[in-house]
Amino acid sequence: MKMFFQSAPSLLLILITGGSLSLRAQENSTINITTTAVPFLRISPDARSGGIGDAGIAISADANSVFYNQAKLPFAKNRSGVSATYTPWLKEVADNMYLATLAGYHQLDELQTVSASLRYFNAGDIAMTDYNGNKLQTVQPREFAFDLGYSRKLSDKFGIGAALRYISSKLVTGSFNGVNYKAGNAFAADLSVFYNGVAENDRGWRAGLSLSNLGSRIGYTDDSNNKDFLPASLGLGASYTEVWDEDNKMTFALQADKLLVPKIPETTASMPAYRDKSVVGSWFDSFDNGALQLAFGAEYGFKDQLFLRIGYNSKSYSYGNWQYVTAGAGVTFSMATVNFSYLVPAGDKVNRNPLSNTVRLGLVFGINK
């Protein structure tokens, strides 16, 4: 995969993970897309949620809840759980990029749960060239995020959760055009709330709210004034499960996500003020960026052993302007569940969605109480 060298390495990863940049067209009109650093944190890491349009905030709890809503974990049916998911990324563009995740939790008692997770993004080998096509070097961007979480049940219906996250982003290292680039590091936190209104037979409503990636900015040079915002976001979801009989049930899920980062300035002269925004101030300056994502899906379960899923996801123009359909399946064997999801191809030629044919494969293990 080839790519022109950009002035900020964060822009490199935005491109290879499917993001977009704020560009000025020849007619001086502005295409303004809201962007952030470490966009791999915005990739849905779960094959189950990936089958229902990436709507994971308010569905029933399992080990992958650590990525969507920590507050769900005290309501999990299993006392402990572990999950692992592998996602080849942007298969339409490159063949050596992937996201791998590992997560686990343990219920200390009926009220408290602790968890941990790891996300690792491998962007493959990228040949960096200048604008004349001269090769500069081959880089191997690698990123990971490690989380520790705690959640607590406040009542039979409500729970809260929090997680602390360490982020390491190694995109480009070395000196280019007199600028020394290095790996970036940052810290962030998630806060979440969960409502569990289901009956003993699993019929009823669930709802959740999640604030994610609230933390420091991340930089790739020694210039403290040249740092990028993390992909802070606000997510709100709800789901309803209808149980027809002891063998058959259906869950419907709906979710909305809003990026809490400022809109990219339309002129270079405005960039210093953009860079000077505080992290907390940037959250409140984000509500005019138009970066909204909507997802909904359905999951059919047969005897809690076979699951069929379908979903739809739509991103606003400022979020990337992608729409796609997802499908998935899951099979449970004793203590383990194998999940598979597939992103249905959409578009044609230049309009083809680069996420088309994305496949996620996941394993979830649970230890019964």
Question: pLDDT tens, 95-129?
Answer: 788 999 999 999 999 999 999 999 999 987 777 66
Domains in the chain: boundaries: 2-368
* pTM of the model as a whole: 0.86
Which stretch, 135-144, 177-186, 320-329, has highest mean pLDDT?
320-329
- What pLDDT, on a 0 to 100 scale, did the predictor assign at position 351? 53
Written as six digits, the tokens of 207 are 């709802």
Distance CA 269, CA 274 (A): 10
Average pLDDT for residues 261-281, to the nearest whole number?
Answer: 76
What size, in residues, is the chain?
369
- Note the pLDDT tens digit of each residue in 50-93: 999 999 999 999 999 999 999 999 999 999 999 999 998 877 66
Domain 2-368 has CATH 2.40.160.60: yes
Q: Which percentage of the chain shows pLDDT scores above 70?
A: 84
**pLDDT at site 275:** 75
The mean per-residue pLDDT over the stretch 32-46 comes to: 85
Which of 223, 222, 148, 217 is closest to 185 using CA atoms? 217
Q: How does residue 348 score in pLDDT terms, banded at 50, 70 and 90? A: low
Give 175's contacts (C-beta < 8 A, 6+ positions apart). Answer: 181
pLDDT of residue 347: 59
Q: Considering only residues 343 and 92, tell me which one the structure prediction assigns the higher pLDDT.
A: 343
Sign of the Cα pseudo-torsion (25, 351, 9, 211, in order): positive
16-22 mean pLDDT: 42
- Mean pLDDT throughout 285-295? 85
Measured CA angle at 114 (ends 202, 40), to 5 deg: 90
The CA-CA-CA angle for residues 81, 85, 91, to 5°, reads 170
